[in-house]
């Protein structure tokens, strides 16, 4: 007997409803962790078959990486890390952090010199300001610490220049910026041949890189004990308050990037780095220019017990420092 079309529709709907109720009863007997979404209700129900899933169900979303908690902003010289974890606390007198607009440094109260000075260099830092030539005590040291004066280097007796770590010519955009480079906390005793020849040529090279559209992150300091100045070999310069350390070597590390933004994510394993360790003695220029004294960052880290660019991903840091 032929059924009426309306009756067929009603029968089909009843059949589908019964099937759905049985399916739900069937699902309730399982405790699987897979879920499928009912598009019409946006409710979720357990699924018994982990192999039957939509693409969105079969792939666990990858959480976005947590942002690196930068303590120092881009273009700050410590953007990629503080190599000795220096702190601005007098209870850490031999690793005392000093932050200035022109550069940052870790000061050592016992040696009267910086463990390192760090600065960022770009073409905007280079202008027309004259060289100050006024060496001054750093009044930002803790009040009960002795702040070196210009006369303390006693050039006539010991024969060492007051050698800039952050160069005067790297800060010529204003007279104030240039004056800050003449703070005595930015000086180390340097053999004249080192300061005025080999070291100077590297300073000129870094400014040339900046003028050509690069930005540089730079660290510099002294290594070891004992250098040879105009009047001979000395391990220190005696003052009433102690002894100013004369380093055996003058070192520098430079990371070079094309000018731009998002510096952290633009550093690659192929980024240009320069590391040098120059003897602090008369005649050092006879071996050639600064590139006769290149070394690896790993070597300097081992000798200095410091960790440079520690915030970079390990693979990139390792490639740059090897």
176 phi, psi to nearest 5 deg? -65, -45
Give residue 58's pLDDT band: very low, low, confident or very high (50, 70, 90).
very low
Give residue 70's pLDDT band: very low, low, confident or very high (50, 70, 90).
low
What's this model's pTM, rounded to 2 decimal places?
0.79
Taking only the tens place, the pLDDT of each residue in 287-296 is 999 999 999 9
Question: Residue 197 class from Cβ within 10 Å (0-12 exposed, 13-18 middle, 19+ buried)?
Answer: middle
pLDDT above 90 for 17 = no
Closest residue by Cα to residue 161 from 133, 196, 131, 114? 196
What are the residue ranges of helices labelled H in the chain? Answer: 5-27, 55-58, 155-158, 175-180, 192-193, 199-211, 263-266, 297-304, 314-321
User: What pLDDT is stored for residue 68 in this prediction?
Assistant: 52
Question: Which of 45-49, 96-100, 145-149, 304-308 has the lowest average pLDDT?
Answer: 45-49
Q: Which residue has the tokens 């240039």?
A: 178
Q: SS3 for 304?
A: helix
Lookup: tokens for 236? 């220190």
Taking only the tens place, the pLDDT of each residue in 126-143 is 999 999 999 999 999 999
pLDDT above 80 for 106 = yes
The stretch 168-186 carries a mean pLDDT of 98
The average confidence (pLDDT) of the chain is 85
The stretch 183-192 carries a mean pLDDT of 98
User: What pLDDT is stored for residue 33 in this prediction?
Assistant: 36
Give residue 71's pLDDT band: very low, low, confident or very high (50, 70, 90).
confident
The stretch 306-318 carries a mean pLDDT of 98
**Residue 83 to residue 225: CA distance in whole angstroms:** 20
The stretch 197-208 carries a mean pLDDT of 98
The stretch 83-94 carries a mean pLDDT of 98
79 noted as active-site residue: no
- What separation, in Å, do the N-terminal and C-terminal C-alpha atoms of the chain show? 90
DSSP assignments along 101-151, one per residue: SS-EEEEETTTTEEEEEEEEE-GGG--SPPP----B--TTS-TTSPPP-GG
Cα 220 to chain centroid, rounded? 13
């Amino acid at each position: 007997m032929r059924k009426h079309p309306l009756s067929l529709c009603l029968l089909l709907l009843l059949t589908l409803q019964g099937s759905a109720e049985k399916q739900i009863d069937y699902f309730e007997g399982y405790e699987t962790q897979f879920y499928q979404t009912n598009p019409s209700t946006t409710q979720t129900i357990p699924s018994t078959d982990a192999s039957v899933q939509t693409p969105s169900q079969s792939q666990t979303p990858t959480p976005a990486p947590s942002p690196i908690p930068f303590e120092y902003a881009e273009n700050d010289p410590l953007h990629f890390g503080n190599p000795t974890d220096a702190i601005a606390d007098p209870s850490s007198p031999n690793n005392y952090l000093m932050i200035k607009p022109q550069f940052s440094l870790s000061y050592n109260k016992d040696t009267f010199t910086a463990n390192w000075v760090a600065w960022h260099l770009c073409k905007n830092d280079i202008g027309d300001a004259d060289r100050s030539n006024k060496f001054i005590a750093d009044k930002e040291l803790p009040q009960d610490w002795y702040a070196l004066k210009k006369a303390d280097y006693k050039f006539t007796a010991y024969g060492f220049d007051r050698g800039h770590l952050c160069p005067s010519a790297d800060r010529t955009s204003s007279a104030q910026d240039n004056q800050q480079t003449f703070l005595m906390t930015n000086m180390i005793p340097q053999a004249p041949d080192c300061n005025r020849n080999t070291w100077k040529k590297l300073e000129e090279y870094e400014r040339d890189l900046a003028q050509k559209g690069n930005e540089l992150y730079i660290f510099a300091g002294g290594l070891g004990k004992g250098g040879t100045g105009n009047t001979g070999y000395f391990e220190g310069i005696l003052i009433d308050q102690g002894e100013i350390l004369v380093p055996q070597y003058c070192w520098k590390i430079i990371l070079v990037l094309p000018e731009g933004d998002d510096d952290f994510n633009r550093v690659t394993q192929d980024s240009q780095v320069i590391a040098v360790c120059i003897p602090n003695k008369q005649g050092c220029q006879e071996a050639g220019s600064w590139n006769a004294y290149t070394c690896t960052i790993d070597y300097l880290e081992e000798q200095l017990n410091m960790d440079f660019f520690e915030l970079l991903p390990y693979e990139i840091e390792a490639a740059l420092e090897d």
